[in-house]
Structure 1
Amino acid sequence: MRLQPVSRDVRFAKISAAQLDPSLRRLIGVYALLYTSAVLVSVMGSSFVFQEQKGTAADFGYLEAAWSAGSLIGAVSLFRIERAMSTHVRHLMLLGLTALVLMALASLPTPWTVILFVALGFLYNLGRVSVEVTLQSHVSIYLLGRAKGIMHSVAVVLGLLIFGIAAAVGDRAFPSTIFLSFGVALLVSILCLSVGVIQTREKGET
């Protein structure tokens, strides 16, 4: 049996509907925030080690290794964690924990830094994989490429914005202060995303 190709109008209708879907917008927002947190750590990590912790290149290498180890653990942990809570709760929890870890970098002593970087790698990769799986599970195959393109574009734009702010601030602020500020911004973003989830559920019940 030969399958009939999907008309162009149907594809555009599906793409437009997905772009307006609040759950997809929230998913893009979660991915962009996780991506930006990784960019921030990558950009400010070396300054954090050399400037604040008076460390060496080897110390920075240890932190990168800790991040990589956490990422591996996060990637294989999704299958257990996804059964324990809903998707929205899981994503908001990962953002919240990322915010707390970034804020903790400003106050905890050096031995804890390695553990915190393991946690950051774990949270980032777990969140990234979770968002990718959720997107592929809920988006039609006809618009999956377009949806992924939008998601990555938004993440890159937000990452570039944070990179620009960090470059403009330069040495006028400690890296830990920037981590703390972004952690607060993440908490505010979580509040906004939570309000969006509540409003969507209320509309669905009416």
Structure 2
Amino acid sequence: MSFISASRWRDVYVAAAARGVSACGDFLAATALALVLQQAGAGGLAVSGLMLAASAPLALLAPIAGRIADRADSRTVLVVAGIAQTGVCAMLAFTSAPAVIIALVAVLACGLAVTQPTLAALLPAMVRREDMARASGINQTAAMIGVLAAPALAGVLVGQFGARVPLLIDAGSYLALVAAGLLIRTRRATTARAAKVRWRVRDDSVIAVMIGALAATVAGVGAINVIEVFFIRETLHASTTIFGLVAASWSAGALIGAAILGRRERGRAGSVRLVRLTLLLMAGCCTAVVAAAGVSHALLIVPLWLAGGFCNGGLNVYTSVVVAERVPAAARGRAFATMSSATQGAGMIGFLVGGPLVEAFAPRPLVAAAGVAGLVAVLCCVAPVRRAGREIAPSQTLGRPHPVAAGDSVGA
């Protein structure tokens, strides 16, 4: 699996800092644009279109993005993409037409489709096998810190200054990717070009089942991302500031989950066991969404979102560890791109369904329906996970690759 003998923690922290800053910018812009569209009288279809534009490139460009991440120099990818995303986001700050906003968000997501698997595939090349869970936890924690700050910051900035200020801040945040590309010493280009590995998801039943379970659950619960803004702002009559604070609570839970569970797992658990744990964590995310449908005040969602976020943070760490351990080093970009494509594509189903549903039904029952749909999807994945566990020999644990092989958020 091509792990190194001594972990390069400096590179881990530089990559984590870049991800945290850029994640803050991403969610700052997404929250700001959703609030602007809602305040301008745009309905669920417009918000749904915005989220589709942010997700579709990650799903559709996965084959190309994965090859770029595995074959191109990682430094070049991060620098070029970071500069391009800075320019596109600066244009967004001076655009008010909904159609143009959606189009530019789609272009912005094209860069994310490439940088996301590039950074994810770099992480296993920076650390020893025993340190992979800890490094993944650090990376996820940094991202969650950025995401945690973004909604509350967006609520305050949009309320005080409109959308331009948060979007300009987002444009500056992409320069963190440029800095990371220049500062990170670990590079994958030479190794990836030298080792021409043919790897497919279906060659590894553990990876295939894990990705399928993620996609099924996201497809079930994904509509909450469209419904949430209308549920909190219109049904519960919360201000933009309260909306930002409530949305941030999910990220706070994910921050805690990634930090705690990332340190607990140090290569001890088998990959099948980790996939089973991800199912339990997915169920936890969906249960929090179901419970949120019964609240009478927006602030009562906070403890539920903290619990759901904790589960979300843990499953992000576990899925990263499973991919890093089971996929050949030269194919990790493709693996992470495939996983992102599956989850983003599944999320698009929620966006497509959520927009029309918000136009036709009250938000509260839709929140409950989204959570129940996610739980049903988790239950449907239990049997495939058990079959995968029976097919894998007991000796094929987390630290040992599958012989054939020799690689986002579930809730709000």
- Is TM > 0.5 for Structure 1 vs Structure 2? yes
Unaligned runs of 5+ in 1: none
CA distance in 1, matches of 2:363, 2:238: 14
CA distance in 2, matches of 1:179, 1:82: 33
Structure-2 change in CA distance of 1:175 and 1:120 (3 Å): farther
Spell out the pairing of 1:192-203 with structure 2 (5 A cutoff): 192-203=380-391
Question: Structure 2 residue aligned with 1:178, among 349, 366, 371?
Answer: 366
CA distance in 2, matches of 1:189, 1:82: 26
Greater than 6 Å deviation, 4+ residue runs: none
Structure-2 change in CA distance of 1:203 and 1:129 (3 Å): closer
CA distance in 2, matches of 1:156, 1:61: 23
Quick check: 118-127 or 140-149, which moved more? 118-127
- Find the counterpart in structure 2 of residue 95 from structure 1: 282
Compute the displacement of 1:128 (Å).
1.6
Instruction: Say whether 1:118 aligns with 2:306.
Output: yes
Question: Is this contact kept in 2: 1:71–1:123, CA < 8 A?
Answer: yes
Structure-2 change in CA distance of 1:175 and 1:29 (3 Å): farther
Instruction: Say whether 1:57 aligns with 2:240.
Output: yes
Quick check: 34-43 or 88-97, which moved more? 34-43
- Find the counterpart in structure 1 of residue 23 from structure 2: none
- Find the counterpart in structure 1 of residue 254 from structure 2: 71
Identity rate of aligned residues, in percent?
Answer: 25
Structure-2 change in CA distance of 1:200 and 1:39 (3 Å): closer
- 1:42-92 deviation per Cα after TM superposition (whole angstroms, max 9, x unaligned): 432211112221111121022023223222212201135547973133111
CA distance in 2, matches of 1:163, 1:127: 22
CA distance in 1, matches of 2:388, 2:214: 19
Compute the TM-score of the two structures, normalised by the length of structure 1.
0.81
Question: Is this contact kept in 2: 1:22–1:200, CA < 8 A?
Answer: yes
Question: Is this contact kept in 1: 2:275–2:319, CA < 8 A?
Answer: no
- Find the counterpart in structure 2 of residue 167 from structure 1: 355
CA distance in 2, matches of 1:171, 1:133: 40
CA RMSD of aligned residues (A): 2.7
Question: Is this contact kept in 2: 1:31–1:127, CA < 8 A?
Answer: no
Structure-2 change in CA distance of 1:179 and 1:20 (3 Å): farther
* 1:65 aligned partner, one-letter code: A
Question: Is this contact kept in 1: 2:283–2:375, CA < 8 A?
Answer: yes
